Copies of this chain bind each other. A is one copy, B any other.
Amino acid sequence: MKPVPPSRDAYGQQIRAFLERGTPVEIVERDDGFVNAGPTNASYFADLRHWSKPEQRAIRCARGRTALDVGCGAGRVALHLQARGFRVIAIDNSPLAVKTARSRGVKDARLLPFENVGTLPRGIVDTVVMFGNNFGLFGSYSRAKRLLRQMHRITRDGAVLLVQSLDPYQTDEPAHRKYQRLNRRRGRMSGQIRIRIRYQEWVGRWFDYLLVSPAEMSAIVDGTGWDVDRFFTVDNPRYTAVIRRV
């Protein structure tokens, strides 16, 4: 798995443009042609007070000395944890996101695809954070199982994963329900969406992003050396989970 080449780094381009010109909208295209434009860019830069309630609650469970921020984007989580005294390793697949995170003060931001997280040294991480829907970076059921086992190796006793996801079943949108049925027919999880980012003339690479219900998350985690400890949610399909190393 290689990092995104700069010519396909629509995500990083959009993050940098937000920083420079305040472009607020992120355009996500799904492989069935569904496009979504959300005012999400500001959220990549938000400080703790502006995070969702479930994220604010879960981040209190960060523990230990060393944290790993998966899909760090512009570095909001890494900056918060650094300020709390953590040593933070922030990884992202986007060259421009990494550059942006560094320019904002993230001390150790690395261009490292999540797929290669197992190349980090054994037993060094106490807290892993995957916020902003980044449980989705697990991509699929089987990939999640494999990567959770690798994360078990790079973490220490008592480590926690703090993750955020979106329950795909909490929607009335017919196009989403149709896409989920199609996914099930072809043996994918309902919320395994194939998407790419569009920004001006930049067209990102297609990638699989996995949205799961709390029950599905528990099933994925089961048997990988981790256990879901608790969920936080506030009347919303978005929720966070605290997952403990066993």
Contact = CB atoms under 8 A, between A and B. Distances in A.
Interface of A: 25, 27, 32-37, 173, 175, 198-201, 203
A207 to B, nearest CB: 18
A200 B175 CA distance: 8
Complex copy number for this chain: 2
Contacts of A199: 35
A177 to B, nearest CB: 12
Contact of A27 (B35, B173, B175): B35
Contact of A201 (B25, B32, B37, B200): B32
A36 B34 CA distance: 16
Contact of A25 (B25, B198, B200, B203): B25
Nearest to A175: B201
A25 B40 CA distance: 13
A37 B27 contact: yes
Contacts of A27: 27, 35, 37
Contacts of A33: 201, 203
A36 B175 contact: no
A30 to B, nearest CB: 9
A182 to B, nearest CB: 12
A35 B198 contact: yes
A175 B201 CA distance: 7
A37 B37 contact: yes
11 contacts: A25-B25, A27-B27, A27-B35, A33-B201, A34-B200, A34-B201, A35-B200, A36-B200, A173-B200, A175-B200, A175-B201
Contacts of A35: 27, 198-200
A177 B35 CA distance: 26
